[in-house]
């Protein structure tokens, strides 16, 4: 018979070593709690199934009021964790997870199982269960207790927490869209209103005082003045500031925003407060995510005008994938000549700042000189600038112009871009500039040997005649086709767009060598699934591993049966994995056949709906 008192003493010693008892914000309780909220949640948590139950240790911290750590101890390491995780009385981890299931109704919970009576022969394992979630997940390395700050940081930066918070952000975009619809604020003004509020909240005085303004007029006046002040002090070119400021003038005249009633003032105050708590709160925890685009796309999904249809947001997980495929680091200079609302630039900035590893001077240089964007649409340009200011970067080199009119030689000499990332405007009903022309435009501004990655309709690279063929030929004459990834078929489902896309990777300035084999990847499954009212989301938290597989396979040029291969191609050939992959018929099942027929039938129905497959704008 083991002695759990010894095990508890060993764990207590670990807490002392990690400074838990010296931290004035931390409360460590054993087998009880004085916290009424915790006690109420545990009133039915007995491991026998009836009455209250308390873990061996309950740890809370004033700095992180939404987090609780529960610990269960067992003397014998063979009772550390069962295979089914539901033997609550006998096993440490199982018991900790029982308590987590009750506490997770109100808290994020870290469940720790600790077992053993000898200091050198103990086991320690972690699981997490997030607030409101039914599932639990393994997180943190086994065997080592971390301090409170490290646990909180690790939890906040985990895929599980990001997915949960991102889904809540998406929920809020829908919520605020319905509210603004009821206020009769036009779709194309809604994203400007939200971005304007986020800019104004960067003004410390406005943020501190907005709840205290006595009238709607005072609130609106100070909201607009704060937006103006933040734009004026940014390093946006002077010639563009007046236009940017003018773009927000509707805030001062819109009747719904300027509702002088007490109800009207309360709504605007609450809207600003929600933007601060729910959007800025997300941005603080998960830095450098293109949040403004989420609102922009949601607001325009159901717009009744041609320009409002088919707006495409490059999903954040794809912008981050491109940054890894391009191997962006602190010394990269990134160019997006179809910048949209800035998704690629924001993701690139995140990657570069991470690699800067706290070097403040380098971080400033990255923001000042290493991010270059070009955007033609005035409204989207305003959102792009807003996005960069919200992410504490008003000095990014954003050009408001047609990329085909840009002085390419001057831009190349000034910045020497080493990476090109873009999601070009897609042709509308077969009309407009060819997507590959935007790719060639981007390549023309990159240093020799740089990498350009673009996402576009797969039709651009499988056409073997016409304009696409001529542009493919032009690419190979001056550049090297390194890789093509066939992307998930419903990647842009959240934008109500059905176009099937691919990502092409090109090395600038080197003619495609005779006989050179390009890497092709069948990257159709990113693990995301469709959910009602949320679109495509990473339900099972599998994206990090899938992304790792894709990136490594490309960087190593791995040939994996059913997934990737290398093939020499010319402009007359199709640039996609499907054209060259062989099918292993021995692995086909009746379900595979039925699913394929179903998919083809649904695809045929979509194709019969005019306009459904067309996309007009970038990102």
The predicted structure's pLDDT at residue 613: 39
Q: Which two tokens mark 33?
A: 């709690």
Q: Are both 49 and 28 inside the same structural domain?
A: yes
The predicted structure's pLDDT at residue 603: 58
| Helical pair 216-233 and 238-247, crossing angle rounded to 10 deg | 160
Q: Which two tokens mark 146?
A: 């971390």
pLDDT grade for 618, boundaries at 50, 70 and 90: very low
The predicted structure's pLDDT at residue 409: 96
Q: Is residue 445 part of a domain?
A: yes
| Extended strands (E) in 208-330 | none
The predicted structure's pLDDT at residue 306: 37
3-state SS class at 26? strand
Across residues 272-298, what is the average pLDDT? 87
Mean pLDDT of the chain: 90
Q: Is residue 232 part of a domain?
A: yes
3-state SS class at 565? strand
Beta strands across the sheet bearing 334-336: 397-400, 371-375, 334-336, 419-422, 451-457, 501-507, 480-486, 517-522, 564-568
Q: Is residue 619 part of a domain?
A: no
Across residues 548-559, what is the average pLDDT? 98
Across residues 186-207, what is the average pLDDT? 93
How many other β-carbons are positioned within 10 Å of the β-carbon of residue 141?
A: 11
Q: Are both 280 and 360 inside the same structural domain?
A: no
Q: Are both 347 and 491 inside the same structural domain?
A: yes
CB hemisphere CA count around 301 (13 angstroms): 20
CATH of residue 20's domain is 3.40.1350
Q: Is residue 612 part of a domain?
A: no
Q: Are both 521 and 420 inside the same structural domain?
A: yes
CATH of residue 385's domain is 3.40.50.150
Under 8 Å CB-to-CB from 533, ≥6 apart: which residues? 171, 174
3-state SS class at 589? coil
CA 538 to CA 142: how far, in whole Å?
Answer: 25
Q: Are both 266 and 306 inside the same structural domain?
A: no
Which of 91, 123, 156 is where one domain is finished?
156
How many other β-carbons are positioned within 10 Å of the β-carbon of residue 608?
A: 8
User: Which residues partner with 484 through β-bridges?
Assistant: 504, 520
Q: Are both 63 and 88 inside the same structural domain?
A: yes
Across residues 111-139, what is the average pLDDT? 95
Are 260 and 216 in contact by the 8 Å Cβ rule? The answer is: yes
Q: Are both 132 and 168 inside the same structural domain?
A: no
pLDDT one-digit tens code per residue, 201-212: 999 999 999 999
Q: Is residue 520 part of a domain?
A: yes
pLDDT one-digit tens code per residue, 500-537: 999 999 999 999 999 999 999 999 999 999 888 778 88
Largest CA distance in the chain: 81
Q: Is the pLDDT of residue 270 over 70?
A: yes
Which of 126, 156, 186 is where one domain is finished?
156
- The CA-to-CA distance between both ends of the chain, in Å, stands at 64
Under 8 Å CB-to-CB from 36, ≥6 apart: which residues? none
Across residues 117-131, what is the average pLDDT? 94
| Helical pair 543-556 and 316-325, crossing angle rounded to 10 deg | 30
**Count: domains in the chain:** 3
pLDDT one-digit tens code per residue, 461-505: 999 988 999 999 999 999 999 999 999 998 988 776 678 999 999
The vertex-18 CA angle with 37 and 154, nearest 5°, equals 65
Q: Which two tokens mark 341?
A: 């609302």
Q: Which residue in this structure is represented by tokens 């591993």?
A: 545
* 25 conformational bin, left if phi > 0, alpha if psi -120 to 50, beta if neither: alpha
What are the helix (H) ranges across 56-127?
Answer: 92-103
Q: Which of 87-101, 435-449, 483-497 has the lowest mean pLDDT?
A: 483-497
CA 403 to CA 379: how far, in whole Å?
Answer: 16
Q: Are both 403 and 525 inside the same structural domain?
A: yes
If you count them, how many residues does the chain have? 619
Q: Are both 21 and 140 inside the same structural domain?
A: yes
Q: Are both 137 and 185 inside the same structural domain?
A: no
pTM for the full predicted model: 0.83
CA 30 to CA 185: how far, in whole Å?
Answer: 55
Q: Which domain holds residue 193?
A: 161-285
Q: Are both 90 and 126 inside the same structural domain?
A: yes
pLDDT one-digit tens code per residue, 373-404: 999 988 889 988 988 888 877 567 999 999 99
Q: Is residue 551 part of a domain?
A: yes
Which of 135, 156, 177 is where one domain is finished?
156
Q: Which two tokens mark 282?
A: 């997300």
CA 382 to CA 377: how far, in whole Å?
Answer: 9
Q: Are both 189 and 213 inside the same structural domain?
A: yes
Q: Is residue 315 part of a domain?
A: yes
Q: Is residue 614 part of a domain?
A: no
């Amino acid at each position: 018979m083991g002695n759990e008192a010894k095990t508890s003493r060993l764990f207590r010693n670990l807490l002392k070593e990690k400074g838990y008892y010296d931290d004035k914000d931390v409360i460590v309780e054993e087998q009880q709690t004085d916290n009424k909220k915790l006690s109420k949640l545990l009133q039915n948590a007995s491991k026998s199934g009836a009455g209250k139950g308390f873990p061996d240790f309950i740890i809370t911290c004033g700095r992180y009021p939404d987090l609780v750590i529960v610990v269960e101890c067992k003397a014998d390491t063979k009772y550390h964790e069962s295979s089914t995780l539901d033997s609550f009385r006998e096993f440490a981890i199982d018991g900790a997870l029982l308590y987590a299931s009750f506490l997770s109704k109100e808290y994020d919970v870290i469940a720790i199982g600790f077992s053993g009576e000898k200091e050198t022969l103990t086991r320690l394992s972690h699981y997490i269960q997030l607030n409101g979630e039914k599932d639990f997940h393994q997180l943190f390395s086994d065997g080592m207790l971390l301090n409170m700050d490290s646990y909180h940081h690790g939890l906040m930066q985990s895929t599980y927490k990001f997915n949960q918070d991102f889904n809540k952000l998406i929920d809020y975009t829908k919520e605020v869209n319905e509210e603004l619809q009821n206020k009769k604020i036009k779709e194309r003004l809604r994203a400007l209103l939200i971005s304007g509020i986020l800019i104004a909240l960067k003004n410390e005085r406005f943020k501190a005082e907005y709840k205290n303004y006595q009238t709607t007029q005072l609130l609106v006046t100070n909201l607009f003045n704060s937006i103006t002040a933040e734009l004026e002090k940014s390093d946006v070119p002077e010639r563009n500031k007046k236009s940017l400021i003018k773009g927000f003038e509707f805030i001062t005249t819109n009747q719904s925003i300027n509702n002088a009633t007490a109800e009207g003032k309360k709504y605007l105050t609450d809207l600003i407060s929600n933007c601060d708590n729910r959007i800025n709160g997300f941005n603080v925890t998960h830095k450098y995510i293109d949040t403004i685009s989420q609102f922009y796309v949601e607001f325009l999904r159901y717009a009744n005008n041609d320009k409002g249809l088919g707006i495409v947001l490059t999903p954040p997980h794809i912008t981050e994938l491109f940054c890894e495929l391009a191997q962006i680091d602190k010394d990269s200079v990134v160019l997006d000549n179809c910048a949209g609302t800035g998704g690629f630039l924001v993701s690139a900035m995140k990657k570069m700042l991470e690699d800067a590893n706290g070097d403040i001077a380098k971080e400033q240089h990255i923001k000042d000189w290493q991010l270059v964007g070009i955007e033609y649409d005035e409204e989207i340009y305003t959102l792009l600038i807003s996005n960069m200011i919200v992410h504490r970067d008003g000095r990014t080199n954003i050009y408001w112009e047609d990329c085909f009119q840009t002085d390419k030689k001057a831009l190349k000499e000034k910045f020497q871009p080493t990476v090109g990332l873009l999601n070009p405007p897609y042709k509308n009903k077969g009309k407009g500039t060819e997507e590959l022309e935007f790719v060639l435009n981007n390549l023309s501004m990159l240093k020799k040997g740089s990498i350009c990655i673009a996402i576009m309709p797969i039709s651009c690279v499988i056409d073997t005649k016409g304009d696409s063929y001529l542009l493919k030929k032009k690419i190979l004459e001056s550049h090297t086709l390194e890789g093509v990834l066939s992307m998930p078929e419903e990647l842009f489902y959240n934008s109500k767009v059905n176009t099937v896309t691919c990502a092409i990777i090109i090395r600038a300035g080197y003619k495609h060598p005779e006989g050179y084999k390009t890497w092709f990847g069948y990257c159709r499954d990113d693990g995301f699934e469709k959910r009602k009212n949320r679109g495509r989301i990473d339900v099972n938290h599998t994206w990090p591993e899938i992304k790792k597989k894709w990136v490594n396979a490309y960087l190593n040029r791995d040939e994996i049966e059913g997934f990737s291969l290398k093939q020499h191609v010319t402009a007359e050939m199709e640039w996609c994995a499907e054209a060259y992959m062989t099918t292993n018929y021995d692995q086909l099942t009746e379900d595979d056949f039925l699913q394929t027929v179903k998919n083809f039938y649904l695809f045929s129905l979509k194709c019969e709906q005019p306009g459904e497959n067309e996309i007009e704008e970038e990102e």
